[in-house]
A and B are shown apart, each in its own frame.
Chain A
Amino acid sequence: MAAGGTVGLGMSVNIAVKNLSKEFAAHGTGAAWKALDGVNLEVASGEFVTILGPSGCGKSTLLNILSGLDTHFTGSISFTQGDSGGTARGKPRIAYLFQEPRLLPWRTVRGNVEFALDAAGFSRSEWKGRCNKWLELVGLGGFAEFYPLQLSGGMQQRAAIARAFSIEPDILLMDEPFSALDELTARRMRQELLDLWEANRHSVVFVTHNSLEAVFLSDRILIMNRGPSSRVRDEISLNHLPRPRSYEDPAQFETQKDVLARLMRHVD
């Protein structure tokens, strides 16, 4: 599955992005939009990094490049396996949690998880066990045989989370996965996501425009400016905030105010 075969299953990997730039050409006119201009960032193995920025800052573009969906860019991206210190440059196993669940509506919840397991190359004999385990962990144990359109938006996103974790990814990319949910549901699901991640430390790149969410979830926040020519403008470590975190913690609240102030500087 992973090209080169040197990236282990379910191991976290380091991500290093150097001088990454990306231009979109307007159709016909020859005009260009420089979406990303010299992005540098590193994600340590097992680290939870959030990229925070206003809409139009190229966050999703960056994720599309990291995921391999978009291959037209300049600069370099390298993945190295965390634990052994090797320098494998093969393709790591990536899971992507989109803003919408992107489940296949014609397959049951179980079928959707199996779809990812199949794509990731897990043998058929493992499917049932993994499926049950992850659906149980996201609280959908009783809904395996339901079709996505029979479930609420929150449950659908849970199914997508189960699908993402079930393949034991090396890297988990998330593009505002909770932004379509109401705040109460989103809060619960952030906590559930953290619980899953604490138990399975994949490297995470999480994209959002919500500073509250960024502070609650991350080890480190990278702030990007509004385009054109977006790059990482600021970096905030959150190691001083112990986990598990709580929205009511004054220190966390102070940090969030600081993050928001620094974000505002790069919006205009």
Chain B
Amino acid sequence: MKEVARGDRWVKLISLSLLVGLWYAVALLPAKSVFPPPHVVLLYLIEDVQSWAIWSHLLATLSRIFFGFSLAMAVAVPAGILLGFSGLAQRLFGTWVLIGLMTPSLVFIILVYTSMGLNDIAAVVAAAMTVIPVLVVNIWENAKAVDSKLVQMARVFNLSTLKIVRQIVLPQLAPPLLASARFGLGLVWKMVLFVELLGRSNGIGYQIEYYYQLFNMGRVLEYTVFFVGIMLIIEVVILGGIEHRLFRWRPAARLG
């Protein structure tokens, strides 16, 4: 995992160039004033990152993502595990989750804004609420897959229930939980932009909406590229680092 094979690197480079090429192709089609080519967007970006404004919008959005994501995980992880292990919880709350899944995100956001007001707390709650049902289902499915043979082994060796949860169940849930966290982060940041667009006056989502009103596609794309880049770094550096630490035990090769 540490070393990316040389061939792999080439494939990634080709893939990225293709994407940029595609962008140029689209930009050079008839409506080019609407859809600017990559280098124009890049120039905008270079100009903007030198001023404070874009960073303050980023900070506002990132903090909403952070709190929204934390809130969503704090609700979804225990709820998902409970649903996975308890038949009663499943019968009681299974339908709630389904209804939550079917409810359009827009409805959640409007409901929260109208009942809590147009403020940052409402924004965070709204973003979290839209992703909680999806996350719960995701974690619920994974909780069903815990290996009962290891739990049996631990019981024979007389391990207490609390320690079985800590030493047998949670380590097995760690990989799917991390996958759920990545998935959840991806969902939350998309919803935060949506929430900002609907009811905040700062943040990346608000900026994108603002430039959209002005029909300035260059700026819209600039903010998009900037934000996607930052989120990619967070994904790869932070979550990738956690993954590497958690899964050291996975084999590179067998000894024989």
Q: Once the chains bind, are A150 and B158 in contact (CB under 8 Å)?
A: no
Question: Quick one: CB contact mask for B212-252 with A, threshold 8 Å, 1 for yes?
Answer: 00000000000000000000000000000000000011111
Which residues of the other chain, B, contact A52 by a CB distance below 8 angstroms?
none
A195 to B78, CA, bound (A): 48
Does chain B have a CB within 8 A of A235? Answer: no
Please judge, given known A-B contacts A104-B150, A151-B254, A152-B254, whether A69 and B168 are in contact too, CB under 8 Å. Answer: no
Check if A98 sits within 8 Å of B153, measured CB to CB. yes
Establish whether residues B157 and A147, one from each chain, have CB atoms under 8 Å apart when the complex forms. Answer: no
- The interface residues of chain A lying within 8 Å CB-to-CB of B154 are 115, 119
Closest to A94 in B: B156
Which of A94, A150, A151 has the most chain B CB atoms closer than 10 A to its own CB? A150
Q: Tell me the dominant secondary structure on chain A's binding face.
A: loop
Known: A149-B249, A152-B256. A100 touches B163 (CB 8 A): no
**A238 contacts B by Cβ under 8 Å:** no
> Is B6 in contact with chain A by the CB < 8 A criterion?
no
**From residue A122, how far is it (CB to closest CB) to chain B in Å?**
12
Contact with A along B139-170 (1 / 0, CB 8 A): 00000000001101111111110010001100
What chain A residues lie within 8 Å of B171 (beta carbons)? 104, 106
Query: What CA separation (Å) do A129 and B251 show in the bound complex?
Result: 27
With a cutoff of 8 Å between Cβ atoms, the chain B residues found around residue A146 in the complex are: 255
12 CB contacts below 8 A, A to B, read A1-B158, A67-B156, A69-B156, A94-B158, A104-B167, A115-B154, A115-B159, A116-B157, A120-B157, A120-B158, A149-B251, A150-B253
Contact yes or no, A150 B255, CB < 8 A: yes
Q: How far is the CA of A144 from the CA of B157 in the complex (A)?
A: 20
Asked if A105 lies at the interface with its beta carbon under 8 angstroms from chain B, I say yes
Binary B-proximity of A126-158 (CB < 8 A = 1, otherwise 0): 000000000000000000001111111001000
Q: How many A-B residue pairs have CB under 8 A?
A: 68
Instruction: Check if A93 is an interface residue, CB within 8 A of chain B.
Output: yes
**Contact partner of A167 among B157, B248, B255, CB < 8 A?**
B157
Of all chain B residues, which has the CB nearest A68? B156
Q: In the complex the two chains form, what is the Cα distance from A96 to B149 in whole Å?
A: 12
A55 to B139, CA, bound (A): 37
Assuming the contacts A1-B158, A115-B167, A119-B158, asked whether A102 and B255 have C-beta atoms less than 8 A apart, the reply is no
Q: 4 shortest A-B CB distances, which residue pairs?
A: A149-B251, A119-B159, A119-B157, A96-B156
Complex CA–CA separation, A107 to B159 (angstroms): 16
A115 to B153: give the CA distance in the assembly, Å: 11
Find chain B residues with CB under 8 A from A106 CB: 171, 249
For A107, give its contact among B157, B158, B249, B253 (CB under 8 Å): B249
> Bound state CA distance, A1 and B159, in angstroms?
10
Enumerate chain B residues within 8 angstroms of A222, measured Cβ to Cβ: none
With A107-B249, A146-B255, A150-B255 known as contacts, the answer to whether A102 contacts B158 (CB < 8 A) is: no
Q: Which of B160, B250, B252, B255 contacts A151 (CB 8 A)?
A: B255
B168 A104 Cβ-Cβ under 8 A: yes
Interface hub of A67, A94, A105, A155 (most chain B Cβ within 10 A): A105
Interface residue range, chain A: 20 to 34
Within 8 A of B (CB), among A64-82: 67-69
The smallest C-beta distance from A65 to any residue of chain B, in angstroms, reads 12
CA distance A119 to B155 in the complex (A): 9
C-alpha gap A121/B159 in the complex (Å): 9
Q: A69-B152, A100-B149, A104-B150 are in contact. Are A147 and B158 (CB under 8 A)?
A: no
Q: How far is the CB of A29 from chain B (nearest CB, A)?
A: 20
Q: Report the Cα distance A93→B248, complex, angstroms.
A: 33
Question: Are A149 and B250 in contact, CB atoms less than 8 angstroms apart?
Answer: yes
Docked complex Cα distance between A167 and B167 (Å)? 18
Q: Which residues of A contact B254 (CB under 8 A)?
A: 149-152
Check A95 for interface membership: any CB of B closer than 8 A.
Answer: yes
Chain B 106-139, CB within 8 Å of chain A: the 1/0 string? 0000000000000000000000000000000000
Q: Nearest chain A CB to B162's CB is how many angstroms away? A: 12
Query: A99-114, CB under 8 A of B: which get 1 and which 0?
Result: 0101011111000000
Q: How far is the CA of A105 from the CA of B171 in the complex (A)?
A: 10
A121 to B163: give the CA distance in the assembly, Å.
Answer: 13
Distance between Cα atoms of A115 and B163 in the complex (Å) = 10
Task: Give complex CA distance A224, B150 in Å.
Answer: 28
Q: Which A residues lie within 8 Å of B248 (CB)?
A: 147
Q: Indicate if the CB atoms of B150 and A102 lie closer than 8 Å.
A: yes
Q: For residue A155, which residues in chain B have a CB less than 8 angstroms away from its CB?
A: 255
Give CA–CA (A115, B150) in the complex, Å.
Answer: 12
Q: How far is the CB of A102 from chain B (nearest CB, A)?
A: 4
Checking B152, B157, B159, B167 against A95 with a beta-carbon cut-off of 8 angstroms, the contacting residue is B157
